[in-house]
């Protein structure tokens, strides 16, 4: 499907780029029934298990990220509320200080 130049594209480090490696793995070939021996089915079972583990790991990671994001959002809301409370308290104390300073001057 791809010419040798397209497949062996390298980046500035001399390593293959992800795109070219990906292109190599995307070429799926149909295997005729007469070539599907026990070795073929063993490879298919192994690949299917690896794909399932990969999907499960990805789902678990996504769930952990979602839980962490939810926790951080709740913590952010709490900190915003605390900040507003402290701003209000600071404003009250400033007003009291102004009143105190004005009462001393008189």
pTM score of the predicted model: 0.55
Asked if the structure places residue 61 within a domain, the reply is yes
Q: What is the pLDDT of residues 10-60, one digit of tens each?
A: 555 555 555 555 555 566 777 777 778 999 999 999 999 999 999 999 999
Asked if the structure places residue 9 within a domain, the reply is no
Q: What is the pLDDT of residues 27-40, one digit of tens each?
A: 677 777 777 899 99
Q: What are the C-alpha distances in Å from 65 to residues 53, 62, 69, 70, 74? A: 18, 5, 6, 9, 14
Q: Give the mean pLDDT of 54-81.
A: 97
Asked if the structure places residue 82 within a domain, the reply is yes
Q: What is the pLDDT of residue 5?
A: 53
16 bridge partner residues: 10
* Domain housing 73: 36-105
Q: How many separate domains does the chain show?
A: 1
């Amino acid at each position: 499907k791809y010419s040798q130049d397209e497949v062996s594209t390298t980046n500035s480090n001399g390593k293959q780029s992800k795109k070219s490696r990906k292109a190599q793995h995307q070429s799926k070939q149909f295997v005729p029934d007469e070539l599907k021996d026990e070795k073929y089915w063993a490879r298919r079972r192994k690949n299917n298990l690896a794909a399932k583990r990969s999907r499960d790991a990805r789902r678990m990671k996504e769930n952990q990220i979602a839980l962490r994001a939810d926790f951080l959002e709740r913590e952010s809301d709490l900190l915003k509320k605390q900040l507003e409370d402290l701003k209000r308290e600071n404003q009250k104390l400033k007003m009291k200080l102004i009143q105190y300073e004005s009462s001393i001057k008189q």
